């Protein structure tokens, strides 16, 4: 593990010097034994009509009981009865109409191409970019491009200490399951060699072996790791036939320290974490200029083609919830689950001196991350300020995520200084990159 840490530390130093220079239905009864049922679509409308009919019968029975003991009924009383009956009938018709409309809306609902998931690109942001600790914040690229860049970088680092970059290739450039299988297979190879150092059959891997090809060769960094610990490709001729193998010499097999160190490195390595790059942009604003809503690229959204069907189901559930009593906790849970559609948020911050900074965040990042980002761009990094949202006022709970605060998928908030404001709020370096918002 020390080798891995030293490798990462050395790259950070290099970069430093390079830079220097559920509930009860409202219409249900009160019996605790009865359980509310949810009937989707047009069947829900039919049950609603049945409940209305039952309500009408109960109301009419109450009227009969009211006048049961009277021998004669006055004209005024008859008038009241007739008015009550007309009101009940009108209410019944209105409820029937509403229920029928709900049923019709759901019946006619179709999964269509939706604007939300295929928004046009704009100059606001072309794509979400990422960085990683090894490469530094200066390298910010879309995810696929960053992975390609990282692979090229690690291959260039293969040398005497090739075990480290090879390990990082295995852990960081492959999906979870192939990575796991490759690491288990390589681990078994090395353990067998350590336990049987004098037996050559454990130091020889047939390259045409299907299991080896699928488990190790198909994984980026797999072959590189084996070569880094001492395996070499050789050809074994048997008459006219020849077979290629990866073979470890007996001398390399006897180097216990090297093999054990490689095993420890493999066991302790974790994938390089990719972070959302802030992709900071600075704009100047005209007096009174309004900020138009940005058009976001598709990678801001989670929904795929298959998930559009689930969106229809979600709408059906939402219709049912409109007729159901729900606690505050249930409503908050509903709101949080709705954010599954968004992965990132475009945050814009207006300053008092008619400037605006723009950055990209993951929706699960805390508001505190936004504050720290703003501090890094100020002329006075220690300055105190509040963040205000036009809809909710001052944003106080900075431990909550942007999704929990409803600041997705794009939001404009205001920076409000505490105390005196310097003529230039943002640092000189930040302002040097500013462009007029109107031409973006």
Report the phi/psi class of residue 183: left, alpha or beta, with left for phi > 0 and alpha for psi in -120 to 50.
alpha
Question: Within 13 Å, how many C-alpha atoms sit on residue 5's CB side?
Answer: 3
Lowest model confidence (mean pLDDT) among 39-48, 65-74, 191-200, 353-362: 39-48
Does residue 46 surpass a pLDDT of 70?
no
pLDDT computed for residue 324 by the predictor = 61
Rounded percentage of the chain residues whose pLDDT exceeds 70: 66
Query: Residue 25 and residue 37: Cα distance in Å, rounded?
Result: 9
pLDDT computed for residue 4 by the predictor = 72
Query: Residue 144 and residue 135: Cα distance in Å, rounded?
Result: 15
Q: What's the CATH fold of domain 134-272?
A: Methane Monooxygenase Hydroxylase; Chain G, domain 1 (1.20.58)
345 — pLDDT class (breaks 50, 70, 90): very high
Q: Chain-wide mean pLDDT for the chain?
A: 78
Lowest model confidence (mean pLDDT) among 46-50, 65-69, 150-154, 270-274: 46-50
Average pLDDT value for residue range 382-392: 88
pLDDT computed for residue 146 by the predictor = 95
Average pLDDT value for residue range 343-372: 94
Does residue 116 surpass a pLDDT of 50?
no
pLDDT computed for residue 425 by the predictor = 86
pLDDT computed for residue 113 by the predictor = 37
pLDDT computed for residue 16 by the predictor = 62
Choice between 12 and 117, residue whose per-residue pLDDT is larger: 12
pLDDT computed for residue 63 by the predictor = 55
pLDDT computed for residue 312 by the predictor = 53
Choice between 24 and 256, residue whose per-residue pLDDT is larger: 256
- Closest listed residue to residue 425, CA positions, set 290, 285, 294: 285
60 — pLDDT class (breaks 50, 70, 90): low
Does residue 65 surpass a pLDDT of 80?
no
Query: Residue 193 and residue 187: Cα distance in Å, rounded?
Result: 10
Residue 222 backbone phi and psi in degrees, to 5: -65, -55
Rounded percentage of the chain residues whose pLDDT exceeds 90: 47
124 — pLDDT class (breaks 50, 70, 90): low
Choice between 231 and 102, residue whose per-residue pLDDT is larger: 231
Does residue 343 surpass a pLDDT of 90?
no
114 — pLDDT class (breaks 50, 70, 90): very low
pLDDT computed for residue 376 by the predictor = 94
95 — pLDDT class (breaks 50, 70, 90): low
Average pLDDT value for residue range 64-79: 58
pLDDT computed for residue 164 by the predictor = 95
Cα 410 → chain centroid:
14
Lowest model confidence (mean pLDDT) among 94-98, 168-172, 191-195: 94-98
Burial of 398 (0-12, 13-18, 19+ CB in 10 A): middle
pLDDT per residue over 393-430, tens digit each? 899 999 999 999 989 989 999 999 887 766 678 999 99
pTM score > 0.85 for this model? Answer: no
CATH of 277-439, one of 3.10.20.90, 3.40.718.10, 3.30.420.10, 3.40.190.10: 3.10.20.90
Does residue 140 surpass a pLDDT of 70?
yes
Contacts of 300 (CB under 8 A, 6+ apart): 119, 128, 342, 343, 344, 345, 346, 409
Average pLDDT value for residue range 284-294: 83
**Can you give the chain as a three-state secondary structure string?**
CHHHHHHHHHHHHHHHHHHCCCCCECCCCCCCCCCCCCCCHHHHHHHHHHHHHHHHHHHHHHHHHHCCCCCCCCHHHHHHHHHHHHHHHHHHHHHHHHHHHHHHHHHCCCCCCCHHHHCCCECCECCCCEEECCCCCCCCECHHHHHHHHHHHHHHCCCCCCHHHHHHHHHHCCCHHHHHHHHHHHHHHHHHHHHCCCCHHHHEEECCCHHHHHHHHCCCCHHHHHHHCCEEEEEEEECCEEEEEEEECHHHHCCHHHHHHHHHHHHHCCCCCEEECCCCEEEECCCCCCCCCCCCCHHHECCCCCHHHHHHHHHHHHHHHCCECCCHHHHHHHHHHHHHHECEEEEEEEECCCEEEEEEEECCCEHHHHHHHHHCCECCCCCCEEEEECCCEECCCCCCECCCCCCCCEEEEEEEECCCCCCCCECHHHHHCCEEHHHC
Average pLDDT value for residue range 315-341: 58
Does residue 440 surpass a pLDDT of 70?
no
Sequence spans of domains, the chain? 41-94, 134-272, 277-439
Contact yes or no for 246/231 (Cβ under 8 A)? yes
221 — pLDDT class (breaks 50, 70, 90): very high
109 — pLDDT class (breaks 50, 70, 90): very low
User: Across the chain, which distance is largest between two alpha carbons, in Å?
Assistant: 121
| Distance set, CA 275 to CA 135, 140, 221, 303, 353 (Å) | 11, 9, 22, 21, 31
């Amino acid at each position: 593990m020390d080798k891995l840490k030293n490798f990462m530390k050395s790259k950070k130093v290099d970069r430093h010097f390079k830079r220097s220079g559920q509930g009860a239905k409202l219409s249900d009864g009160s019996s605790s034994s009865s359980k509310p049922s949810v009937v989707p679509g047009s069947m829900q409308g039919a049950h609603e009509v049945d409940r209305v009919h039952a309500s009408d019968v109960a109301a009419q029975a109450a009227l009969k009981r009211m006048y049961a003991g009277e021998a004669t009924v006055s004209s005024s009383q008859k008038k009241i009865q007739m008015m009550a009956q007309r009101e009940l009938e009108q209410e019944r018709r209105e409820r029937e109409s509403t229920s029928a409309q709900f049923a019709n809306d759901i019946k006619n609902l179709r999964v269509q191409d939706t604007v939300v998931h295929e928004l046009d690109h704009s100059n606001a942001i072309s794509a979400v970019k990422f960085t990683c600790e090894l490469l530094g914040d200066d390298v910010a690229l879309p995810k696929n491009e960053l992975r390609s860049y990282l692979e090229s970088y690690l291959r260039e680092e293969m040398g005497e200490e090739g075990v480290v970059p090879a390990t990082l290739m295995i852990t960081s450039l492959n999906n979870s399951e192939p990575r796991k299988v490759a690491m288990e297979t390589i681990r078994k190879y090395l353990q067998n060699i350590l336990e049987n150092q004098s037996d050559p059959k454990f130091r020889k891997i047939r390259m045409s072996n299907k299991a080896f090809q699928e488990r190790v060769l198909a994984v980026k960094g797999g072959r590189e790791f084996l070569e880094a610990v001492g395996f070499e490709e050789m050809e074994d001729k048997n008459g006219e036939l020849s077979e290629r193998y990866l073979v470890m010499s007996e001398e390399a097999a006897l180097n216990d320290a090297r093999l054990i160190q490689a095993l420890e490195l493999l066991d302790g390595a974790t994938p390089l974490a990719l972070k959302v790059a802030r992709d900071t942009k600075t704009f100047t604003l005209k007096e009174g200029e309004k900020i138009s809503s940005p058009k976001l690229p598709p990678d801001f959204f989670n929904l795929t083609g298959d998930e559009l069907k689930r969106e229809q189901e979600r709408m059906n559930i939402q219709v049912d919830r409109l007729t159901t009593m729900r606690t505050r906790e249930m409503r908050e849970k509903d709101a949080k689950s709705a954010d599954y559609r968004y992965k990132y948020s475009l945050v814009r911050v207006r300053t008092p001196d008619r400037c605006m900074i723009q950055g990209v965040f993951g929706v699960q990042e805390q508001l505190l991350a936004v504050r720290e980002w703003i501090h890094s761009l100020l002329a006075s990094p220690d300055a105190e300020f509040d963040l205000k949202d036009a809809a909710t006022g001052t944003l106080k709970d900075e431990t909550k995520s942007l999704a929990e605060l409803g600041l997705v998928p794009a939001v404009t908030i205001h920076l409000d200084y505490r105390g005196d404001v310097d003529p230039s709020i943002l640092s000189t370096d930040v302002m040097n990159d500013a462009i007029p918002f109107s031409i973006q």
